[in-house]
Amino acid sequence: MANHASAKKRIRQIERRAGVNNIRRTRVRTFIRKVEDAITSGNQTDAAEAFKAAQPEMMRSAQKGIFHKNTISRKLSRLSARIKAMAA
């Protein structure tokens, strides 16, 4: 256990930050799930709308360091490709 005031403060800050990060991570996963559900339903317009809503949220999470930027780029690319393949 921390004995110094600064170490105790650090623990409080880390707990607070971890809580915020968990909320952001869950939010991004929910957006991804909505896009995937729209893709599996077969409705391209719904999938495109869900993707349009998910994209800024995903990029924001990469900026904040919740996910690695390459991970988010890869996920966006794959979702976009799946939506485009629905038209064919």
* Model pLDDT for residues 40-71, shown as the tens digit of each residue: 999 999 999 999 999 999 999 999 999 999 99
Instruction: Say what percent of the chain tops pLDDT 90.
Output: 93
Phi/psi at 67 (5° precision): -120, 155
| Domain residue extents for the chain | 5-87
| Top-level class of domain 5-87 | mainly alpha
pLDDT, residue 45, reads 94
Flag whether pLDDT at 31 surpasses 80.
Answer: yes
Structure tokens at 45: 């317009």
Distances 60 to 44, 64, 67, 70 between C-alpha atoms, Å: 25, 6, 9, 13
- pLDDT at position 2, please? 80
